[in-house]
Amino acid sequence: MGYENYKWYVGVPHCHTTASDGGLTLEQVIEKAKKNKLDFLMITDHNVNCEELPEVDGLTLIYGAELTKRGGHCNMWGVKDVIDREDYDSCETYEDFLRIKDEAKKRGAVICMNHPHCKQCPWRWEKNAADVDVLEVWNAPTHYDNLECTEWWHEQLRSGFKLPVVGGSDYHKDYVVTNLLTWPVTYVYAKSNSPEDILEAIVSGHTTICFDVGTTFVDIVSGEGRLGDTVKLTEDTTVTINVKKLHRTHKLMVFNSRGLCYEYTAKKTGDYSITLPVETEGFVCAHVVFEPGFFYSKIHDYAIASRIPEQKGMKLPPLIFAQSGAMYFEK
């Protein structure tokens, strides 16, 4: 499959500036991204095409915009003038979305469905995985709505959709001592850090999502196959799940088309690897969950539940700390 020159690049695919409702200018966001050791950053302001992006040493900037309407939010990446100004204003129905999305794709854009299960701003149009190239399965600091989105993603995988995923911090600004730009980040396995190769890697499903830069990291391989690949299924096929920096008490959960197929709770912090037989066609993906403690629950109430009143003070279930894309298996 030819991955000799590939490597992992880390970045943020969903970020706002003062061009819409962000708290930092483009220049300030760039400096913050560099301090956080990001390899790439996508600028996705609401209902406005991205301004001219500068060349920045060590940081790949990628044009984008977020179509933000009551019916749903979607990122459109890779094109400076991705849609016309009047299209932002006229997009009110599902049919409008399909028309505008098709025009953006003709111009070369990659389309990502954003936070479809967010209680504050969900996807209200017809929720069709075939309409988009990518799903933002994890939005903002990990919270309850991401669990619902993950379950919906698994449903699409079980239905036969090969739907790539990213995690987007949806950065607007920080609060007190937080550093929300990189909460979470998406790693992409790409042949270079050019915008074209980053986007190609995302569309190919070569992605895994981490709580922050350098935290718990989940990768999946099968022979020469990597995340996003389709591997020929034989009676001897196995899949290996590699987890870097798995924290003590955190739980690895592995899923296939039949549901949860393996789980492991770490007894100590360190790397962990497991090789499993692949017994059925479909997919394999994995995530790591943690039990939210008092401190995280307070952050959740302040940062998330303050905008979603029905979740304020709720007893949080285990939340996602790291999350891989999927690998596919066919006879």
Q: What is the pLDDT of residues 199-252, one digit of tens each?
A: 999 999 999 999 999 999 999 999 999 999 999 999 999 999 999 999 999 999
Q: From CA 308, how far away is CA 329, in angstroms rounded?
A: 39
Give the model's pLDDT for residue 311.
78
Give the model's pLDDT for residue 1.
65
Give the model's pLDDT for residue 271.
98
Q: From CA 102, how far away is CA 98, in angstroms rounded?
A: 6
Q: From CA 238, how far away is CA 224, in angstroms rounded?
A: 11
Average pLDDT over residues 284-308: 84
Tokens of 52: 């001219």
Q: Is the pLDDT of residue 121 over 70?
A: yes
Which residues neighbour 277 within 8 Å (Cβ) at sequence distance 6 or greater?
237, 238
Token look-up 């302040």 returns 302
The strands making up 238-246's β-sheet, listed across from edge to edge, are 217-221, 238-246, 270-277
Q: What is the pLDDT of residues 238-254, one digit of tens each?
A: 999 999 999 999 999 99
* Length of the chain (residues): 331
Q: From CA 186, how far away is CA 290, in angstroms rounded?
A: 19
Give the model's pLDDT for residue 145.
94
Q: Is the pLDDT of residue 124 over 70?
A: yes
Domains of the chain: 7-217+293-326 (3.20.20.140)
Q: What is the DSSP letter of 222?
A: B
Distance of alpha carbon 15 from its chain centroid, rounded?
A: 13
Q: What is the pTM of this model?
A: 0.97
Q: What is the pLDDT of residues 135-162, one digit of tens each?
A: 999 999 898 999 999 999 999 999 999 9
